[in-house]
């Protein structure tokens, strides 16, 4: 059973960079067909897809983040990371890492998720 675990600071100051890492266990991040994603949920609100990275390094992002997000992968550590620059209070949310399963053509879904980590942006 694949497991994902987020780690990183729970408090970030406005205008600084939010940095989170997701460690994948019981499965290889280099397996084909899986897209390693970040999703966030503002307090009491819905879900927002942030972006993904593939083990090869290709990535895609939500345009709503206005190019503030960067996702990277470290296959040697079986980890992927999120950096979100110039944060404001509006970036306060629970951040989830998740695996998007695209193994079967046309049937794509988030099959494994981390437990989520609350990041608060405040001075």
Partner 1 sequence: DIQMTQSPSSLSASVGDSVTITCRASQDIRNDLGWYQQKAGKAPKRLIYAASSLQSGVPSRFSGSGSGTEFTLTISSLQPEDFATYYCLQHNDYPRTFGQGTKVEIK
Tell me the closest approach of the beta carbon of residue 106 to partner 1, in angstroms. Answer: 7
d(CA 108, CA 121): 32
Strands (DSSP E) contained in the chain are 3-7, 11-12, 18-25, 34-41, 47-53, 59-61, 69-74, 79-84, 93-104, 107-113, 117-121
Tell me the closest approach of the beta carbon of residue 90 to partner 1, in angstroms. Answer: 17
96 binds partner 1 (CB under 8 A): yes
Residue with Cβ nearer partner 1 (62 or 78): 62
30 binds partner 1 (CB under 8 A): no
Among 29, 98, 119, 121, binds partner 1 (CB under 8 A): 98
115 binds partner 1 (CB under 8 A): yes
Query: Is residue 73 within 8 Å of 55, Cβ to Cβ?
Result: yes
Closest residue by Cα to residue 53 from 68, 65, 35, 70? 35
Among 61, 71, 84, 119, binds partner 1 (CB under 8 A): 61
Residues forming the site for partner 1 (CB under 8 A) = 45-49, 51, 60-64, 96, 98, 100, 106-111, 113-116
């Amino acid at each position: 059973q694949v497991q994902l675990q987020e780690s990183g600071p729970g408090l970030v100051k406005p205008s600084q960079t939010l940095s989170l890492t997701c460690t994948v266990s019981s499965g290889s991040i280099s397996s084909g067909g899986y897209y390693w994603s970040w999703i966030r949920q503002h307090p009491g609100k819905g879900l927002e897809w942030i972006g993904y990275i593939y083990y090869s390094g290709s990535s895609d992002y939500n345009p709503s983040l206005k190019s503030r997000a960067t996702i990277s992968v470290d296959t040697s550590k079986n980890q992927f990371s999120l950096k979100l620059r110039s944060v404001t209070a509006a970036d306060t949310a629970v951040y989830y890492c998740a695996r998007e399963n695209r193994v079967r053509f046309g049937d794509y879904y988030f099959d494994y998720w981390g437990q989520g980590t609350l990041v608060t942006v405040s001075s």
